[in-house]
Amino acid sequence: MATLSGNTTRAVPVQTRDGGVRVIGRANRYRRSRRSELVIWWREIDRVLLGLVMLLVVIGAIAVAAASPASAHRLSTLQKTLGDLHFFWLHLRWLGFGLLVMFFASILPKETARRLAIILAAAMIVGLVLVPLVGSEVKGARRWLNLGISLQPSEFLKPGFAIALAWILSWRVRDPRIPVMGLSIGLMVLVGALLMAQPDFGSTVLFLGVWFVLVLLSGLSVSRIGWTAGGGMLVLVLAYLFYPNATHRIDSFLWGGSEFDQVDLAMRTLRNGGWGGTGLWLGTRKMALPEAHTDYIFSVIGEEFGLIACAVIVMLYGAIVLRVLLRLLDEDDLFTVLAAAGLTAQLAGQAFINILVNLQLFPSKGMTLPLISYGGSSTMALLLGVGFLLAITRRNPYLSREPVSGKERAAP
The tens digit of pLDDT for each residue in 157-182 reads 999 999 999 999 999 878 888 888 88
User: What is the rounded average pLDDT of the residues 385-405?
Assistant: 74
Give the model's pLDDT for residue 220.
64
The Cβ of residue 109 has, within 10 Å, a number of other Cβ atoms equal to 10
Examine the pLDDT at 340 and tell me if it is beyond 90.
yes
Cβ proximity of 94 and 376 under 8 Å: yes
Within a domain: 36: no
Question: If we measure between CA atoms, which residue out of 239, 382, 383, 374 comes closest to residue 298?
Answer: 374
Within a domain: 5: no
Within a domain: 370: yes
User: What is the rounded average pLDDT of the residues 132-140?
Assistant: 73
CA trace torsion 306, 312, 317, 319 (10° rounding):
180
Give the type of residue at 332. D
Examine the pLDDT at 48 and tell me if it is beyond 80.
yes
3-state secondary structure of 105: helix
The tens digit of pLDDT for each residue in 363-388 reads 777 789 999 999 888 899 999 999 99
CA trace torsion 400, 401, 403, 404 (10° rounding):
150
Within a domain: 25: no
Within a domain: 89: yes
Domain count, the chain: 1
Give the model's pLDDT for residue 225.
63
Within 8 A by CB and 6+ apart from 404, the residues are: none
Within a domain: 406: no
Examine the pLDDT at 72 and tell me if it is beyond 50.
yes
Q: What is the pTM of this model?
A: 0.83
Examine the pLDDT at 128 and tell me if it is beyond 70.
yes
Domain residue limits at 305: 44-394
The tens digit of pLDDT for each residue in 242-282 reads 666 667 666 665 555 555 577 788 888 898 888 999 988 88
Within a domain: 2: no
Examine the pLDDT at 4 and tell me if it is beyond 50.
no
Give the C-alpha separation, 13 to 6, whole Å: 18
Within a domain: 293: yes
